[in-house]
Structure 1
């Protein structure tokens, strides 16, 4: 039974990590689009009003992806708790990356370190 639980948990973990990667990739592409649009408008010497509605829509899609990333991180946290509930607390499942502590302080310390 433990073997079946490990296999099931690994299958879910593999899909979770794939979803996390896909969201991060989509965020990166959306960020590139959001950066390119005003730069292109400026290079083309167009009025600020040109494409404003498109820029707003692109920015909203970026914000939606940020919210999706938050939700997939929350799902990850809850799946980690579920792993313990099914008796797999000591089993390492995943990509081998160290997880930083959750919370605002951890986030800000990462940003602070990157700015240095």
Structure 2
């Protein structure tokens, strides 16, 4: 039973990781669009009053994607709790988290130096 649960957990973690990447890609794409819109207005020599609704909409879209991403992070944490409740022992999700480990190492180093 444990091996079945471990395989299912790994499948879910893979899907979660792919969803996290998709949200990060979406944030990047909307940020690129957000940056391009005012530059397009300037290059086209259009008054700032034209298209304000467009900028408002794209910024709201970015905010909503950020909120959805935060819910995905909540999901990540809740799945970790489920793993613990089911007593599934795993060495990790199958992918590296280099920034997280680098950040934690930097924080520990700063704590030691202080």
- The TM-score normalised by the length of structure 2 is 0.82
- The TM-score normalised by the length of structure 1 is 0.81
| Uncovered stretches (5+) of structure 2, i.e. residues with no partner | 108-114
SS in 2 for 1:35: helix
CA RMSD in angstroms, aligned pairs only: 1.9
Contact residue 31 and residue 62 of structure 2 kept, 8 A: yes
| Uncovered stretches (5+) of structure 1, i.e. residues with no partner | 110-116
Larger C-alpha radius of gyration, 1 or 2?
2
Q: What do the CA deviations read for 1:72-109 (whole angstroms, capped 9, x no partner)? A: 111101111111111114542231215749xxxx8xx8
Higher helix share: 2
CA distance in structure 1 between the aligned counterparts of 2:54 and 2:21, rounded to whole angstroms? 26
SS in 2 for 1:47: coil
**Number of aligned residues:** 103
